[in-house]
Amino acid sequence: MSGTTANSNLPRRIIKETQRLLSEPAPGISASPSEENLRYFNVMILGPTQSPYEGGVFKLELFLPEEYPMAAPKVRFLTKIYHPNIDKLGRICLDILKDKWSPALQIRTVLLSIQALLSAPNPDDPLAENIAKHWKTDEAQAVATAREWTRLYATGA
C-alpha cells in the first residue's frame, strides 16, 4: 500500500496516539511521524541518567505495520549503541515487540520499555552475543565501552 492511501485511511487509534505523543511527550522521548508516511516515526530517546548512555541522544525508527495494533510496531536503533540486547543492525531484543505484544500496548509504552532497557541491560537474554559475554565477564569494562560509544556516536551530530 502506498504512503498516501495508507495516510488517507489511517485508523483513529493511530491519529490519537500521534496527537498525544506530540502534545504530552514522555520525559526523555520524542516521536514524530514522517510527513510522507504517517505510519513511520522518527524517534529520539535520551540516554537515561546513571546509565552508560547518559548524555547521548539515540535515534530510532518506528513503523506501524498494516495490522497495528493487532501486530507490534517495528522499532530499530539508527544510532550505533553498545548494548547486549541490541545488535549492530540496531535490532532490539524485547519481549513486548515479539510474543508478549498486546494490542492494548502503545507506541508510548514501547518507547518507555526501550528507555528502561537502556537503564537495565539484560545480558542473560542477549541479542549481541559477544557484547553480552563482555558484560558478564567484565561489566566495568563493558560499561566503559558503552560510555565510549555513546560519546563517539550519540553526542554532537
- 104 classed as catalytic: no
How far is 65 from 47, CA to CA, in rounded Å?
A: 27
Nearer to other proteins, 11 or 49 (CB): 11
Rounded to a whole number of angstroms, the minimum distance from the CB of residue 11 to other proteins is 7
Please name the amino acid found at residue 7. N
Cell of 146: 558503552
Whether 76 and 59 have beta carbons less than 8 Å apart is answered as no
Rounded to a whole number of angstroms, the minimum distance from the CB of residue 110 to other proteins is 11
Active-site pick, 21, 38, 46, 93: 93
Residue that the C-alpha cell 530510532 belongs to: 60
Rounded to a whole number of angstroms, the minimum distance from the CB of residue 141 to other proteins is 36
Nearer to other proteins, 70 or 152 (CB): 70
Nearer to other proteins, 35 or 99 (CB): 99
Rounded to a whole number of angstroms, the minimum distance from the CB of residue 106 to other proteins is 9
How far is 132 from 130, CA to CA, in rounded Å?
A: 5
Binding-site ranges for other proteins (CB under 8 A): 11-13, 16-17, 67, 69-71, 96, 100, 102-105, 109
Closest-CA residue to 34 (of 46, 45, 18): 18
Nearer to other proteins, 13 or 136 (CB): 13
How far is 43 from 59, CA to CA, in rounded Å?
A: 6
Catalytic positions, written as ranges? 93
